[in-house]
Amino acid sequence: MGEKILEVKHLKTYFHTDAGLSKAVNDVSFSVEKKKTLGIVGESGCGKSITSLSIMGLVEIPPGQIAGGEIIFEGEDLLKKSEKEMSEIRGKKIAMIFQEPMTSLNPVFTVGQQITEALMLHEKLTKSEARKKGIEMLKKVKIPLAEKRFDEYPHQLSGGMRQRVMIAMALCCNPDLLICDEPTTALDVTIQAQILELINELKEETGTSVMMITHDLGVIAEVADDVMVMYAGKVVEYATGDQIFEKPMHPYTHGLMSCIPKLDGDDTKRLSVIEGMVPSFDEMPKGCAFCPRCPEAKDICRQKMPKLAEAEGRYVRCFKYTQEWEETGNE
Amino acid sequence: MSKNIFRFFNKQKEFEQDILKNGMGYSGFYGDSFKRLKKNRMAMFCAMLLILIILVAVFAPVLAPYDPTYQDYSAVLASPGPAHPFGTDEYGRDILSRIIYGSRVSISIGIVAQVVASLVGVTLGAVAGYYGGKTDSIISRIMEIFQAFPDLIFAMAIMTFMGKGVLNLFIALGLLTWVRTARMIRGSVMQLKEKEYIEASRANGATTFWIITKGLIPNCLSTIIVLVTLGIPNAIMYEASLSFLGIGIQPPTPSWGNMISAAQTFISYRPLYSIMPGVAIMITVIAFNIFGDGLRDALDPKLKS
C-alpha cells in the first residue's frame, strides 16, 4: 500500500426530504493512494456523486447533512474546515470535472476567462500571466489553435472540446486530487476514449491522484487501479481493478459485468440485465439492499444486512463468502 | 472539366481555412443581438431619435436661441413667430429654449433614477435569489410593502417628507422602481444558481461574492439592460407628473412637467405653450419604449415566435 492522499472514513451524508430521511451515503470508507486512480462504480442514485460532493464540501446544507465520518485529505479533516478554508482547497488542491460539458461552462464568458478563473482565485496571477498559463493548458489538453480558442465562447466548441476545456480548467492549478464525475458519459465513444487517454496521460505527467466516478465498467478497465462498487449508498465490493475483472465476487458486480456486450461471444444470446431498480430510500429492504434483485438471495439476505468483510484479499458485502451462508438453507 | 473540379476543391479549401481563421462568423452573444436589433427598423429609428434627444440635452446651451430663464417683458405670451418659434410664456421666456433645456432634466432624471433603481434592485434581488430561505423572505416582504402603495402617492409622500429638490427626486423615483428590477433579478438568479457552471465555479474555489458578481449577474445583464431602457420612460413620466403637481422640479428651472403645469391657465389662449412640452414627453417616452421592446426582442430571441 502506498501513501494515501485521501482517506474517507465512515462517511455518512443524509438528506432530509419531505418523504423522510434519505441516507444517500451510508457509512462509506475508502482511500485514494498517491498517483493512483480509484474507480467508483454504481448505477444512478447509488451515492457516487454525493460522495464526491461531500469531499468537495459542496453538499447543500440543508437539506443535506454530513451525519458522521471523517474525510482526511493530506492529513487534515476536511469536514472540520471552515467554508473559507474549503474554498481555498477547492480548485487548488482538489479539482473536479463534471458530467455535462455542455452546461458546465458559463455561456457569457469566453473559454479563456473561465480557465483563468481558478488561477486568478488561487494564484493571484496578473491577466497576462494567467493568459499565458491558460493557453499553455489548452495546448496540454490538445486543443488545436489554442490561442484562438482561448477567446471563443463555449457555444463555439464541440462537446469533446468543452470537456477538454473542463479538464484544462481543473488541472491548471496542479491539484493533488482530481475528481472526475462521469467525465465521458455525455460524449460519444471515440471522444470518450480520447478523453480517458488524455486524463491518463496528464495523470502520469502531473502526478495527481484521480477519483473516477462512473457507471461504465469499460471506463474503469481503462483507468482504475482500485475499484469501489457502490449500491444504495453502501460499498458492496472494494478491490483492485485486476481482481474485479478477473473474478467479480459480489452478485451486483457480477451483474454489472454481464451487462457489458461481448464482441467475441455468442451473438445469439440475449444481453443479460439486472432486473429491477435501485430501491429508493423509503422502500429500502430490511436486509441486504440488493437482495430483491439478487439471483442468489437466500433467507438470511432478507433478514439482515451483511457486513463489508475481507474475502480473498478484497472486501465484499455479501453473505456468500461468510460462514452463515452454508448454515442457512435456500427456501 | 478537370480544371473546374480543381477550382471547386480550391474554393472549398479556402472556405475551410477561412472558417479556421475566423470562426463560423460568430460574434459572441452581444454581437448576434446587435445584428438582430439592426434588422428592426422601428427600433433603430427610435434609437436614432434617442441619440438626437440626448445630443439636444447635452448641447442645449448651443442650440437654444435664448437663455431659458431670461424674461422679456416686451414679449409676454407672444404668439409663435420668427423670433419665438413656439411663442413665449407668461414671463416672456422663450418656450423652445425652455423645452430644449427641459430635456436635460427629463433625460438625466430618467437615467439617474434607473441607475439608482438598478443598483438597489440588482443587489437585493441577487442576494434574495441566491441565498433563498430567510434572507429571501425578508427581502421579499420589504418588496411587497413597497408595492402596496399607489406609485404616485408614494412618490409624493417621499417628496413631501424629504423636501423638494433634484437629489430627492432621484431618490424618490429610484425607490419607486427598484422593486420591479429586484423581482426580475431574484427570479433569474434563482434559476441560474442551479446551473452546472455555477457548481463548477464553486468547485473551482469561487467564493459566494465571486459567484454572484462574476457568475450570476453577468448572466442577467440582458434582463438588466432591458429593464433600464423600459424604466427610463417611466421615470420621465413620474418626473413630469410630480413637477405638474408642483412637487418636482421647481421653477425657474425648466422641466417639461412644470411647463405643462404653468401652461394650463393659458391652454385656450396659447395652446402651443402646453402642447409642445407634452409632445416632447410623448416623443421621448414612445422612443424609449419602442427601443426597449426592440432591445428585448433582440436580446432574447426565444421570446419572438
ipTM, two decimals: 0.72
A65 - beta bridge partners?
A: A14
| Residue contact B23–A156, C-beta within 8 A | yes
Would you place residue B24 in the very low, low, confident or very high pLDDT band (cuts 50, 70, 90)?
A: very low
**CB-CB under 8 Å, A148 with B23:** yes
The pLDDT of residue B123: 93
pLDDT in tens, A227-277: 888 888 888 888 887 888 888 888 888 888 877 776 666 666 677 777 777
| The predicted structure's pLDDT at residue A331 | 47
Whether residue A61 has pLDDT greater than 60: yes
Contacts across the A-B interface (CB distance below 8 Å): 78
A45 Cα to chain B: minimum distance (Å): 18
The length of chain B in residues reads 305
Q: Which residues of B touch A105 (CB under 8 A)?
A: 197, 200
Question: What residues are paired with A237 via a beta bridge?
Answer: A229, A316
Where are the domains positioned within chain B?
34-61+87-303
| Average pLDDT, integer, range A264-293 | 74
Taking only the tens place, the pLDDT of each residue in B140-167 is 999 999 888 888 888 888 888 888 778 8
Res B128 pLDDT > 90: yes
Percent of chain A with pLDDT over 70: 94
The verdict on a CB contact (< 8 Å) between B200 and A156 is: no
- Closest C-alpha among A223, A172, A171, A177 to residue A33: A177
Per-residue model confidence as pLDDT tens digits over A114-123: 888 878 878 7
Nearest-CB residue to A156 (from B26, B215, B218): B26
Closest A-chain CA to B25: A156
pLDDT digits (tens, 9 = 90+) for A178-189: 888 887 777 777
More confident residue, A212 or B33: A212
Q: Average pLDDT for residues B132-138, to the nearest whole number?
A: 90
Please state, in angstroms and rounded to a whole number, the distance separating the CA atoms of residues A141 and A167. 7
Q: Could you give the percent of chain B with pLDDT greater than 70?
A: 88
- The whole-model pTM stands at 0.73
Going by pLDDT thresholds of 50, 70 and 90, the confidence category of residue B125 is very high
**pLDDT value of position B49:** 92
Phi-psi region of A145 (alpha: psi -120 to 50; beta: other; left: phi over 0): left
Instruction: Tell me if chain B has a CB within 8 Å of the CB of A71.
Output: no
Cβ contacts of A278 within 8 Å, gap of 6 or more? A43, A44, A45, A46, A231, A232
On the question of pLDDT at B26 being above 50, the answer is no
What is residue B3's predicted lDDT score, i.e. its pLDDT?
Answer: 57
Q: Given a cut of 90, is residue A88 above it in pLDDT?
A: no
Mean pLDDT: which of A103-107, A253-257, B54-58 is highest? B54-58
The residues near A326 (Cβ < 8 Å, ≥ 6 apart) are none
**Average of per-residue pLDDT across B7-12:** 59
Residue with cell 493533488: A176
Query: CATH for B34-61+87-303?
Result: 1.10.3720.10
Check pLDDT > 50 for residue B304.
Answer: no
Across chain B, mean pLDDT equals: 82
CB of B262 closer than 8 Å to CB of B251? yes
Chain A, residues 108-127, CB within 8 A of chain B, namely 108-109, 117-118, 121-122
| Residue entry with cell 446551473 | B195
B197: confidence class by pLDDT, cuts 50, 70, 90: confident
Q: Measured between alpha carbons, how far apart are the two ends of chain A, in Å?
A: 42
A87 vs B: CB within 8 A: yes
The region of weakest confidence among A28-32, A52-56, A282-286, B86-90 is A282-286
